[in-house]
Amino acid sequence: MAHKSGFVNIIGRPNVGKSTLINRFIGQKMAIVTHKPQTTRHRILAVISEEEYQIVFSDTPGIVRDPGYELHRSLNSSAYSSFEDADVLLLMTDDRDDLNPQENLIQRLHNLQAPKILVVNKMDRMESEHIDKIISHWADIVSFENTFTISARDGINTDELFNFIVKSLPPGPAYYPKDQLTDRPERFFVTEIIREEILLQFRQEIPYASEVVIEAYQEEETITRIAALIFVSRKTQKGIIIGKGGAAIKKLGTEARKKIENFLDAKVYLELHVKVKKNWRDDENMLRRFGY
């Protein structure tokens, strides 16, 4: 049989479970997942290779309805860019999705030639009437090759979905070496892990006002030394991240370090600093520096 390959891109609103599904397919935690919307900020490729096929999954930021910052517009364009190279497109939705897609999204779905699959996630907590309602709502708007109702978290119907994706792949060569798992270097995932901890430990606007960059990254024989800088947009936010007597940043550092050690399978020394950069979310230079 001819070798098959393709880019399989997942789009949907923030928080529907896109990253959770990618992690399940990959069989390990690659993309960060939290209960908060706008967890994913960068497009990440996750490659699954077998002898007879290669799937390049692309996790994308959720599509933000009312982009308030330049950052949001960048997240949306990153999400929309995944229409361009899709060989198969998964549109993911869940029980909280408001089912009111923007005209822009509908147009792009209509124009896309590649097979489209509707994925209704979080079935573990949904009534079947609700699921039927979502499916018929979408069926009126776009024509899908197939529809799957799944629980990405619990792994319900995800194997069936995966098999259908493999079936839908066009013939093609391997785009990446078959032992490569992602397009991102280790240090990218280190910044993501720190950002994940910020999302988990801080409330309200703090996670959304934060960005993490690596300042130093040294792999020594027995330890990896990492210094990371957390940018926030206001002085008060810096105070909150540091906390009373440095308690908050200490906890952040400890939890992030444990996860990074687990991810790198190495002992890690992690140093965190916080810096205020006013309105970085609207600052094109800063956004570029942060890789948007």
For Mg ion, the binding residues (CB under 5 A) are 18-19, 39-40
Stretch that binds ligand GTP, among 149-157, 176-184, 221-229, 233-241 (CB under 6 A): 149-157
Q: Interface with ligand GTP by CB under 6 A: which range of 8-16, 45-53, 132-140, 256-264? A: 8-16
The stretch near ligand GTP (CB under 6 A) out of 101-109, 116-124, 237-245, 260-268 is 116-124
The secondary structure element, H or E, covering residue 22 is helix 18-26
Whichever of 153 and 195 has its CB closer to ligand GTP, that residue is 153
Q: Tell how strand 211-219 and strand 4-12 pair up.
A: unpaired
Helix (H, G, I), strand (E, B) or coil at 11: strand
Q: Is 15 in the site for ligand GTP (CB under 6 A)?
A: yes
Q: At closest approach, how far in Å is the CB of 16 from Mg ion?
A: 9
Among 162, 207, 178, 213, which Cα is nearest to 10's? 162
14/115 with CB nearer ligand GTP: 14
Nearest residue (CB) to Mg ion, 40 versus 76: 40
If the CB atoms of residues 5 and 40 are measured against Mg ion, the closer one turns out to be 40
CA dihedral for 128, 134, 140, 145, sign (positive or negative): negative
Q: What is the C-alpha to C-alpha distance for residues 232 and 76, in angstroms, rounded to an integer?
A: 21
Total of chain residues touching ligand GTP, rule CB under 6 A:
24
Residue with smallest beta-carbon separation from ligand GTP: 62
Q: Which of 4, 5, 29, 40 binds ligand GTP (CB under 6 A)?
A: 40
Contact with ligand GTP (CB under 6 A): which of 151, 168, 224, 233? Answer: 151
User: Taking CB under 6 A as the rule, does residue 78 contact ligand GTP?
Assistant: no
Q: Report the distance separating Cα 103 and Cα 234, nearest Å.
A: 35
Burial tier of 166 (Cβ tally within 10 Å: 0-12, 13-18, 19+): middle
Measured distance CA(243)–CA(230) in Å, rounded = 14
CA–centroid distance for 16 within its chain: 11
118 binds ligand GTP (CB under 6 A): no
Please say which residue, 152 or 272, places its beta carbon nearer to ligand GTP. 152
124 binds ligand GTP (CB under 6 A): yes
Sheet-wide strand order for 4-12: 44-49, 53-59, 4-12, 88-93, 116-120, 146-149
Please state, as a whole number, how many other Cβ atoms lie within 10 Å of the Cβ of residue 83.
17
Residue with Cβ nearer ligand GTP (157 or 180): 157
Strands 211-219 and 224-232: antiparallel
Q: Which of 4, 29, 122, 259: binder of ligand GTP (CB under 6 A)?
A: 122
Q: How far apart are CA 283 and CA 44, in angstroms?
A: 23
| Amino acid at residue number 95 | D
- Partners of residue 118 on adjacent β-strands: 91, 147
Q: Could you tell which of Mg ion, ligand GTP, none binds residue 250, using a CB distance below 5 to 8 A set by kind?
A: none
Binding interface with ligand GTP (CB under 6 A): 12, 14-20, 33-35, 37-40, 61-62, 121-122, 124-125, 151-153
